[in-house]
Amino acid sequence: MTALLRRGRVGLPAVAAGVLLALSLPPWGWWPLGLVGAALFYWRLAGLRARTRLWAGWLAGLGCYAIGLFWAPAFVGACTLAEALRMSWPFGGLPLGGVFLGQAGGPLVQLARLGGPLLVTAGVWAGGVVVATLVGRAAALWRGTPGPHSLGAAIAGAVLVALILAGAAVPDGGAPVGTVHVALVQGGGKRGVSKEQVPPSTVFDAQVAATSRVAEAHPSPDLVLWPEDVVALDRPLAGSPQAAWLSSAARRLHTTLVVGVTEPASSTTFRNKVVAWGPDGRVVGVFEKVHRVPFGEYVPSRSFFAHFADLSGVPTDAIPGHGTGLMRTPAGPLGLMVSFEVFYPSRSRASVRAGAELLAVPTNTSSYSTSQVPAQEVAADVVQAVQTGRDLVQAAPTGFSTVVTQRGVVVDRSLLGRRQVLSATVALRRGMTPYDHWGDVPVLILSALALVAGWARQLRLLVVARVDCGYS
């Protein structure tokens, strides 16, 4: 019974910390809970053996593999580096559920303009350290007992506030150099179904029906954005009836029509493309999705994993594309991110550095029955817009379709499952944010230095302890 209680005193706070961080994520979006969860986790690690710390870390579910340090900067650095690793490995990483997504509605999102999602992540952990230290200090004063030193926490808090203010004040893409009237076409339909359960013709017809509303708009839009994979073909696009209709639609609307297309490349592979038709009906740009979804669009080491799982749900593998995502169109230079790519900061940064003036996200989240993943995608939209200083538009077949300003304000969002057309006037911008210039390198360097400093301090304290105990 004693051992069970002891484990509960470690396990329950660790699990609670993970739950609080999860509740800071969309669709709940209670961003203050991210700081509370980080604070609780930091407090619970104090005084534990390394093995117990590792166990608590797994229970929290945050992948903090090097968190056995009590010094605040090392704790923040370790958790930030662990998040960087999780976002890039294995199989290209899985940023869904990232700590930074929980802050899209809070003040910490301003840090993205300085250091992208990793700096937002570091801000959550640093804020948790401050909260935990100050609460511990207040509790100690109330009990009349010695408490943790709060000077360091106060300094860390001041630095965090200064960074947030700096993030809000630094360049955010600059003044508009032009505007684009855009229509985001959402065909609508049932959610929670896979591609195999809905005939491609049904999805295409829904998009066609929704596009009829665009023709009624005055003035006609400069840009019409369709979602990812709403033209799913079993033959090449060129010469298909769908291509003929889309070309005709671009001419009728006298617009740039950007559409998500999948087509077979071989019996075992396919291409996930974004194709743009200009106002004259001719194809003016093609981009192939670079960052594929592992076990969704392709199966890594297929022959190996076939021994452990039924892979019939992913019968063919997407061919990875190349390039920055920049597509120059009559409507303006677009920075394209296809669905899953919106969670990766490097994709938007690459396109902006190449000359993109507006971010466009064709996506397909219709296979999710709840709002959790679509809502996290909206949070990723916000972070992408803030970190690059670009307006962002997103079209999804069943939602969420969104319009986000360069300051991270969601000015319009569709309803899930509804057939809708969102119309908005968005800005083209050419300015660069600090993150556009520097990327993740400064945050990674500072996190690594903090981690090394923590290790060095830990080692020095161990040496001092051995000397005080009479060991040589």
186 lies in the same domain as 230:
yes
Using one digit for the tens of pLDDT, what is the confidence trace for 238-290?
Answer: 999 999 999 999 999 999 999 999 999 999 999 999 999 999 999 999 999 99
Contact present, 181 and 428 (Cβ < 8 Å): no
303 lies in the same domain as 425:
yes
277 lies in the same domain as 412:
yes
146 lies in the same domain as 273:
no
- Residue-level pLDDT at 406: 97
Containing structural domain, residue 212: 178-436
Q: What's this model's pTM, rounded to 2 decimal places?
A: 0.86
Q: How many domains does the chain have?
A: 2
209 lies in the same domain as 151:
no
CA 420 vs CA 61, 188, 397, 433: distances in Å:
38, 7, 9, 33
39 lies in the same domain as 89:
yes
Distance (Å, rounded) from C-alpha 180 to C-alpha 258?
A: 14
372 lies in the same domain as 392:
yes
Helix (H) / strand (E) element for 329: namely strand 326-329
Contact present, 38 and 124 (Cβ < 8 Å): yes
267 lies in the same domain as 289:
yes
324 lies in the same domain as 426:
yes
Using one digit for the tens of pLDDT, what is the confidence trace for 159-210?
Answer: 788 888 888 888 899 999 999 999 999 999 999 887 778 899 999 999 999 9
CATH of the domain at 380: 3.60.110.10
208 lies in the same domain as 316:
yes
Structure token pair of residue 467: 């000397």
- Residue-level pLDDT at 41: 87
352 lies in the same domain as 457:
no
**Helical pair 441-468 and 72-86, crossing angle rounded to 10 deg:** 130
14 lies in the same domain as 140:
yes
pLDDT lower than 70: segments of the chain: 1-8, 27-28, 55, 58, 61-72, 147-152, 155, 217-218, 458, 461-472
- Residue-level pLDDT at 472: 46
